[in-house]
Amino acid sequence: MFKGLQIKYVRGSDPVLKLLDDKGNIAEELSILKWNTDSVEEFLSEKLERL
């Protein structure tokens, strides 16, 4: 897992990553519909700290 990572399942929604700034506002939103598991993990490793 990653520090600060929250997962929310929304029925019928495409998968997205929402990166928040220090104030909790959405700084970046990325569609990950066509990403594989390795790509998601690599991206999160670059952006977040591991627990």
| 3/11 Cα distance (integer angstroms) | 25
Phi and psi at residue 19, in whole multiples of 5°? -95, 125
To the question of pTM greater than 0.85 for the whole model, the response is no
| 34/51 Cα distance (integer angstroms) | 26
pLDDT of residue 11: 98
Domains of the chain, CATH where assigned: 1-50 (3.40.30.50)
pLDDT of residue 45: 97
Degrees to nearest 5, angle at CA 47 with 37 and 50: 75
pLDDT 10s digits, 1-51: 899 999 999 999 999 999 999 999 999 999 999 999 999 999 999 999 999
pLDDT of residue 27: 97
